[in-house]
Amino acid sequence: MSLSRVITDEFRERVTQDHGDVDVDFSIMALGANFWPLGAPGGGFNIPAEITPLYDRFSEYYRRRHPGKNLVWLWDHSQNELRTNYLDREYTLITSSYQMAILLQYNDRDTSTLDELVIATAIDKYVVMWVLAGLVKDKILIKKAKNRYELNLGNFFLHPHDNSTEPRHRFQVE
Do 2-76 and 79-173 come out as alike in CATH topology?
yes
Q: Which letter does DSSP use for residue 109 in this model? A: -
Digit-coded pLDDT (tens) for 57-67: 888 988 998 89
φ, ψ at 133 (rounded to 5°):
-60, -40
Domain ranges in the chain are 2-76, 79-173
When pLDDT is cut at 50, 70 and 90, the band that residue 40 belongs to is low
79-173 classified as CATH 3.30.230.130: yes
User: Stretch 47-53: mean pLDDT, rounded?
Assistant: 90
Using CA atoms, how far residue 79 sits from 142, 146, 158, in Å, is: 23, 29, 25
Q: Given a cut of 60, is residue 163 above it in pLDDT?
A: no
When pLDDT is cut at 50, 70 and 90, the band that residue 168 belongs to is very low
CATH class of the domain defined by 2-76 = alpha beta
Q: What is the DSSP string of 72-108?
A: ---GGG-EEEEEE-SBSS--EEEEEHHHHHHHHGGGS
Cβ atoms of 149 and 113 closer than 8 Å: yes
Digit-coded pLDDT (tens) for 112-133: 999 999 999 999 999 999 999 9
Q: Calculate what percentage of the chain has a pLDDT beyond 90.
A: 32
Buried b / exposed e along 74-110 (16+ C-beta atoms within 10 A): ebbeeebebebbbbeeeeebebbbbbbbbbbbbbeee
